Amino acid sequence: MSAQPHTASQRQGRWSRRLMVGAALFYVAALLVAPLVGITYYGLKSGLGTIGDTFGQTDVQHAFYLTFLIMLITVIVNTVFGIIVALVLTRDHFPGKRLISALVDLPLAVSPVIVGLMAILLFGRGGWFEAFFAAQGIQVIFALPSMVLVTIFISIPFVIREVVPVLEELGTEEEQAAWTLGASKLQTFFRVTLPNIRWGLLYGIALSAARAIGEVGAVLIVSGALQGQTETATLYILRAFDQYQDAQGYVVALTLALFSIVLLIGIETFKRNSSREAR
């Protein structure tokens, strides 16, 4: 570049950059920050009394209990199986592997409502597995099992998608080195593989948890949203607004949002650690 006055194309470049930054800021502010500010405002506006009242309701307590129970089971199942699937996808070769790899992303593409419907078709009245579970005395639909099942389904991709690239980058040499030093496959996994994938794994777990907490559509369809029984926190919010109890709805929504923000901060930390380690 010489000391010439700025050319037209340079000026144009600077303007287009400003426009891009402006658009990005507007987009984020309008779509993400404004609702967050709104929900905080309305959640707190009703005052401490309402907040206390809301959490005093057994329905609300049960809804939170259910939400976190479902999240916990989902995260455990998706972590264990997510690691197994990721290991199989990166370390083994078999026919149909690419199909499985593609199927893992299915839950991202399918609407949760459809997921709920699929569960009804399988476990509901006249479904393929209805008779089997009925014979065991286990109620699946309109009960915890189906709610957990659809939530697991919906959050399958997160752990796998985060762990696979880390495993690929890691390669197998360290594991082979561990074997030659006498470490069993299990020792190798816990002492070499797991520590190496831990940040990616935690990132995937956090995403999975956030997704599980926020799920509405699929859970609504399979649970029947029975007040105090199969009503999760998100379903409670739906009902609160339906019944013109906006203040309670805002309080619960704000609580969930706060929890998600905490998760988000965790996610960012994991992500940073993960990318630092990838070097």
Examine residue 10 and tell whether it contacts other proteins (CB under 8 A): no
Residue 177 near other proteins by CB under 8 A = yes
Calpha distance 30→80 (Å, rounded): 38
Q: Is 193 exposed, middle or buried (0-12, 13-18, 19+ CB in 10 A)?
A: buried
Task: Evaluate whether 214 touches 260 at the Cβ level (below 8 Å).
Answer: yes
Q: How far is the CB of 176 from other proteins (least distance, A)?
A: 6
Only segment of 48-56, 119-127, 189-197, 259-267 that touches other proteins (CB under 8 A): 189-197
Q: How far is the CB of 101 from other proteins (least distance, A)?
A: 15
Taking the complex as a whole, the smallest distance from the CB of residue 91 to other proteins amounts, in Å, to: 9
Site string for other proteins, 86-105 (x = CB under 8 A): -------xx-----------
Does 126 bind other proteins (CB under 8 A)? Our answer is no
Nearest-approach distance from CB 171 to other proteins, in angstroms = 9
Cα-based angle 85, 144, 243 (whole degrees, multiple of 5): 125
Residue 276 interacts with other proteins (CB under 8 A): yes or no: no
**Polymer length in residues for the chain:** 279
Residues 205-238: b if buried by 16+ CB within 10 A, e if exposed:
bbbbbbbbbbbbbbbbbbbbbeeeebbbbbbbbe
Torsion sign (Cα): 46, 52, 58, 60 = positive
**Segment lying near other proteins (by CB under 8 A), choices 24-32, 62-70, 101-109, 175-183:** 175-183
SS3 200: helix
Q: Taking the complex as a whole, how short is the minimal distance between the CB of residue 177 and other proteins, in angstroms?
A: 4
* Sign of the four-CA dihedral 109, 209, 59, 121: positive
Instruction: Using alpha carbons, select from 56, 242, 113 the residue that is nearest to residue 64.
Output: 56
Q: How far is the CB of 279 from other proteins (least distance, A)?
A: 7
Q: Give the span between the Cα atoms of 62 and 219, in whole angstroms.
A: 15
Q: Determine if 178 is a binding residue for other proteins (CB under 8 A).
A: yes
Q: Which two tokens stand for residue 220?
A: 């609504």
80: Cβ contacts below 8 Å, ≥ 6 apart: none
Q: Per CB under 8 A, which region of 4-12, 31-39, 132-140, 178-186 contacts other proteins?
A: 178-186
202-261 positions binding other proteins, by CB under 8 A: none
- Considering beta carbons, is residue 169 or 246 the nearer one to other proteins? 169
- Closest approach of Cβ 94 to other proteins, in Å? 7
Residues in binding contact with other proteins, number by CB under 8 A: 20
Please give the DSSP secondary-structure letter assigned to residue 125: T
State the residues that interact with other proteins by CB under 8 A: 93-94, 173-174, 176-184, 187, 191-192, 195-196, 277, 279
